[in-house]
Amino acid sequence: MNAHYFESDLKMPWGMIRLPLRCTFLTGPGVGILISPINFNFKQIMELKKLGEVTDIVAPSLLHHLYVGQARNHFPEARIWGLPGMEQKDPMVKWANIIGRDHWPYSDQVAELPVNGVPRMDEVAFLVKSEKLLIVTDLCFNLQKPKGWAAPVMLRLLGTHKKLAVSRLINRFMEDRAVFESSIKRIMEWDFEKIAMAHGELVLGDGKALLREAFRRRGFMV
């Protein structure tokens, strides 16, 4: 599997902060997995089509589904994947496949692991085995270049300013710590060196050690 990245910004009210968004497109023979679609512009859609067929579109968390319908319109033959509860969160999309309920056909190349325990922020993590690449959405942030007049203050409050970090919102919205810790311990058993998160710069080396330290700063001994 090869990983390709597409990026945009999410503008928060009054220009307080511009949150970078990343979509990861995994390509292989006969496979094109679009994880966390963004608001693609025309040029990005053309680039996607050149890279190969989009066979699957994945909303990897209950907070990252806004552009799935748009992506489906561009790639109507692709299978749509979401998490449990997505049917209620976004009923305008036909969620034919639910990760954790339906068979994920790529587990030999791309392992999947639902991360539960924080219902508002539940997501699924992926491991691209050949690339030693961990793909997450809001499990961690790496916002090295904050954008927006209020970004430094807000990111410091969340504990995510200019470092690979786990947001304090994880602790704030935690409902089942044991379930969450079990999930992240399983992630830390994976063999990865790189991390592609939805918000912030890619981590291209030493990712496991950096992520372990980020969890420990939040009080999770993994």
Tens of pLDDT, residues 187-214: 999 999 999 999 999 999 999 999 999 9
Question: What is the distance between the alpha carbons of residues 155 and 161, in angstroms, rounded to a whole number?
Answer: 5
For residue 44, give the amino acid letter: Q
Q: Where are the alpha helices (DSSP H) in 102-206?
A: 151-158, 168-172, 177-188
Query: pLDDT digit string (tens) for 33-47?
Result: 999 999 999 999 999
For the whole prediction, is pTM greater than 0.85? yes
Q: Which of 86, 96, 81, 87 is nearest to 36 (CA)?
A: 81
Q: What span, in angstroms and rounded, lies between the C-alpha atoms of 151 and 148?
A: 5
Residue 3 · residue 25 · CB < 8 Å: yes
Task: In whole angstroms, give the CA distance from residue 20 to residue 123.
Answer: 18
Q: What angle do CA 185, 191, 193 make, to 5 degrees?
A: 105
Residue 158 has pLDDT above 90, yes or no: no
Domains of the chain with CATH codes: 2-217 (3.60.15.10)
